Structure 1
Amino acid sequence: MPTSSRSTNLYTVEQVRRIDQAAIREGGLPGTELMQRAATAAFAALRRIWPQARTLTVIAGSGNNGGDAFLLARLAREAQWQVQLVALGERSGGDAAAARDAWIREGGRITVADMQTRLPDADVLVDGLFGTGIARAPEGVAAHLIEAMNAFRGGRLALDVPSGLDADNGTAPGPVLRADATVSFVGWKRGLFTADGVDCCGQLELDLLGIPDPVCAGIGPDCELLEAGFANVLPPRIRNVNKGRFGHVLIIGGDIGMPGSVRLAGEAALRVGAGLVSIATRAQHIGAVVGDRPELMAMAADGPQSTEAMLARASVLAVGPGLGQGAWGHALWDKALRAGLPLVLDADGLNLLARQPLPLPATTVLTPHPGEAARLLGCDTAAIQADRFAAARALASRYACVVVLKGAGSLVAAADGRIALCPFGNPGMASAGMGDVLTGVVAGLLAQGLGAWDAACLGTLVHARAGDRAAGPRPRGMIASDLFEALRDVVNGSPS
């Protein structure tokens, strides 16, 4: 995996607080100076995003996020903007108290919010209500203010984190601001990029507030963002090669009525560069599989014994697309897992594993959606979505493999605790067959010699970016096979 940088590091709230403390203690940066830098960065972003704006409504909470808001309001007044400020309470705490006092000293007026407060009109609204300071559902006046901010007709800028969003997990247990833009300070918070976070933040910007790298050196990130440049882990091909050099993927699945799953996975493996792809499926599906994709080799699998020759030729297995959970699927699944070959397990392959845990090959990638993840961990889907990071790590640890937890902000987790997040993808990918395509992509990369971690990270990234290319401005109505041409472009590093 490429070397990380602070622009791709994702932190928990506690880790960011430790960086703040280190900057104050070791970097000689007072908390008030960090607050002023945050306000300056946010106001600069506001002017860049809304260059015609000249009127501002600022919402300030009682903590440090509110302090940032008070200082931003001062900057706007100094720039001759018309500024109206609404505060959550009568007092502010810590360094925010000094920012509030400075606003009052300079003639700034404050409206203290209540349940009847209506927000004044302006070109832009600034949310400085909570930031990272809340991990529960807002209540009372705070909830009322968030609802009022969402009804605001101008632009909406969130400071650090949209109010109401859990900065660690990306969940919104109650009212949450739907921002048009969010400026994050010190480091990215991991909740901005997954679950509800992807719909709440709008345009994202990061400002490190001038904190030197050595100050952060002892505080490692919790997670890494996958970048487009990650595709460089796949080496360029030399010219003197043959198809055997790039592996042989065997895809097992496609019970009666479900030939499309293995067909999609098979072409996906080919499109990312696998040398050969075979499909073990029901005899009646062979014509459907190879009819419009003759490069696939489809063979009848009447039972586990009929797959022995196929398994002997394969270098990587992809098991589960359209497999079903009946006797036929279970028998093929059991035979495949005991073969010991590098493995991608998806769909009913995962459901069978939840019912009957078996030791997995050393090189294994599981690709569950939240429902499948819940069955594998013996909980419900809500528990998975409440903390996707913990769920992905728990799966990787329990099954001693690499896991791709699919969803908004898909996560890749390893048994050693590493975790990466894919910030790409779009809602058009919430359609039938997309998971089958991902299975084929990861299997095709394993076949070309990547390890489980790199194949899962690169596969998730390539799949998501291909989805974005295929969708363009029209995600609604996209189907899984729309990704095929884009997969070839992305895996070869073609520019957008």
Structure 2
Amino acid sequence: MHPLLPTTAPLPLFDVAASRRIEARALVHSPDLMARAGLAVAKLALALRRGDGPVWVACGPGNNGGDGQVAARRLAQAGVPVHVGHDMPANPSLAIDALLGLGLNRAPAAELRAPIAAMAACGAPVLAVDLPSGLLADTGQPAGELAVRADHTLVLLTLKPGLFTGEGRAHAGRLWFDGLGVAPDEAPTALLLGPVPRPARGATSHKGSHGQVLVVGGAPGMQGAARLAARAALACGAGRVYVDLLDAPALEPADPAWPELMRGAAARLPDAVRVFGCGAGDAAAAAAPALLAQTGPLVLDADALNAVAAAPALAARLRQRPAGTTLLTPHPLEAARLLGTDVAAVQRDRVAAAQRLAGALNATVVLKGSGSVVASPGETPALCPSGGPGLATAGTGDVLAGWLGGLWAQQPRAGAHAIACQGVEQHGRAGEGPALARAGELVARLAAGR
């Protein structure tokens, strides 16, 4: 058993169906899985309980409840006072949520709502067994109006996608993992991203060795978005970074505060990675056809995505681009527009929505938000475990788009999916913590490798 985050390497995730298959095969060779699980819960409970009051173990009818019963017996054997039942004891030192697990596919039954609600007001730390009760393992969304908000979750046997995206991160608290001695024996449903080394810079390299980025956007009144993206690309290590400020006077500097940035245009920079849409406004629609017609690496963000959503002809051009050359970075509302649906439908199953959009547009999609999702045709989707509310501020999406462009310029042979996984994880890690980070500060954090 060990704390799960921060990750040090990519980790496999398994949805409900895969987790059930792995569990069924494991039970053939290890019929004591429940005993192992209950022991792991008891060990963590001993470390987490606060005070001398009883440990409240709320058990449901399935395997999750069985794990809780084993844990209760182990705790009692260790001399810890234990209360097993749906009614809350006085002054508990810890509440163990063993009500519902993988089997949940609808809102919790009426008899389980009272203990779920009581845990929120019990005044003790809450430890969820495998999943917070009421949370769907595949999507990270509550199945009904009530779901446990745990302080800690001990994930057992397999890691579930719903713990890392949607509302899962808010409900699970600190994550711990115990594989119960079982190595999964099938391919993962998704991957949890881990750190990736920055592109190497050789001793004899020069600025021409590290590619070019062209940021197209920054219509009047919105130049800051394009400039943030360009600053991020330069801070990432791109050799040369140009800015095409749409509808700007020819003599207007690319960025008065960053003289390293240059004005440029797509026609004169055929080999540059394009980052298109940051602050482009209504001018995005006119600029889009020429940019989509080119075959080189292209990152589409913000107003470029809205232009594609509003024009079926642009979406058709996007689908015709070579595989692995297009990277989209929508937030949920932009994804909803592209899919012709609403935000609630996108958020209901973020992994499925990202995969659907990737398939529809023949592109890599970074669906931003809590637990950003990276999806591409023919690739295993990836979830980002880093990031936090500090990224919920203006301009951080522009920084991500520019950072992705900078990474791609330095790795021209990489496909969009690999670039997206690198950039999203680095961007999330730089934005860790509850304090809001101004986008300019985020560029500095990324440059420092934090």
Both proteins in one fold, TM over 0.5: yes
Q: After superposition, where does 1:412-491 map in structure 2 within 5 Å?
A: 412-449=374-411, 450-468=414-432, 471=433, 475-490=434-449
Q: Percent identity?
A: 40
Post-superposition Cα deviations, 1:238-259, rounded to whole Å, max 9, x if no partner, equal: 1112211111111111112101
How far did 1:419 drift?
0.6
Structure 2 counterpart of 1:225: 192
Structure 2 counterpart of 1:193: 164
Partner SS state of residue 122, structure 1 = coil
Q: Which runs of 5+ in 1 are unaligned?
A: 88-116, 300-306, 491-495
Aligned partners of 1:157, 1:334: CA distance in 2, in Å?
A: 53
Structure 1 counterpart of 2:267: 309
Partner SS state of residue 283, structure 1 = coil
Aligned partners of 2:292, 2:217: CA distance in 1, in Å?
A: 13
Task: Output the TM-score relative to the length of structure 1.
Answer: 0.84
Structure 2 counterpart of 1:242: 206
Partner SS state of residue 277, structure 1 = strand
Q: After superposition, where does 1:93-104 map in structure 2 within 5 Å?
A: none
How far did 1:284 drift?
4.7
Change (3 A) 1:286 1:137: farther
Q: Does residue 231 of structure 2 align to residue 267 of structure 1?
A: yes
Structure 2 counterpart of 1:181: 152
Letter in 2 for 1:381: V
Letter in 2 for 1:364: T
Q: Which runs of 5+ in 2 are unaligned?
A: 1-6
Q: Which moved more, 1:379-388 or 1:447-456?
A: 447-456
Q: Which moved more, 1:356-365 or 1:330-339?
A: 356-365
Partner SS state of residue 358, structure 1 = helix
Structure 2 counterpart of 1:204: 175
Question: Among 101, 114, 121, which residue is 1:151 paired with?
Answer: 121
Aligned partners of 1:295, 1:143: CA distance in 2, in Å?
A: 59
How far did 1:48 drift?
2.5
Structure 1 counterpart of 2:11: 8
CA RMSD of aligned residues (A): 2.0
Q: Does residue 138 of structure 2 align to residue 168 of structure 1?
A: yes
Post-superposition Cα deviations, 1:331-354, rounded to whole Å, max 9, x if no partner, equal: 212111112221000111111111
Aligned residues: 433
Structure 1 counterpart of 2:256: 291
Aligned partners of 2:109, 2:223: CA distance in 1, in Å?
A: 50
Query: 2:15–2:137: 8 Å Cα contact kept in structure 1?
Result: yes
Change (3 A) 1:285 1:151: farther
Change (3 A) 1:482 1:295: same
Runs of 4+ in 1 over 4 A off after TM superposition: 4-7, 51-54, 284-289
Structure 1 counterpart of 2:90: 120
Post-superposition Cα deviations, 1:22-76, rounded to whole Å, max 9, x if no partner, equal: 0123xx212xx11110010111112223476562111010111111111111111
Structure 2 counterpart of 1:333: 288
Change (3 A) 1:167 1:285: farther
Change (3 A) 1:353 1:85: same
Change (3 A) 1:235 1:434: closer
Structure 1 counterpart of 2:4: none
Query: 2:157–2:179: 8 Å Cα contact kept in structure 1?
Result: yes
Partner SS state of residue 46, structure 1 = helix
Query: 2:15–2:161: 8 Å Cα contact kept in structure 1?
Result: yes
How far did 1:168 drift?
0.8
Aligned partners of 1:53, 1:179: CA distance in 2, in Å?
A: 20
Q: Which moved more, 1:445-454 or 1:427-436?
A: 445-454
Post-superposition Cα deviations, 1:418-459, rounded to whole Å, max 9, x if no partner, equal: 211110001011111111000001111111123211111111
Change (3 A) 1:478 1:331: same
Letter in 1 for 2:169: V
How far did 1:287 drift?
4.4
Query: 1:346–1:439: 8 Å Cα contact kept in structure 2?
Result: yes
Question: Among 142, 149, 162, which residue is 2:112 paired with?
Answer: 142
Q: After superposition, where does 1:24-103 map in structure 2 within 5 Å?
A: 24-25=27-28, 28-30=29-31, 33-50=32-49, 55-87=54-86
Aligned partners of 2:251, 2:174: CA distance in 1, in Å?
A: 47
Higher gyration radius (CA): 1
Structure 2 counterpart of 1:389: 351
Aligned partners of 1:47, 1:280: CA distance in 2, in Å?
A: 60
Q: Does residue 318 of structure 2 align to residue 354 of structure 1?
A: no
Higher relative contact order (CA 8 A, sep 6+): 2
Post-superposition Cα deviations, 1:175-234, rounded to whole Å, max 9, x if no partner, equal: 1111111101101111011111101111111111112x3xx32x2110111112xx22x4
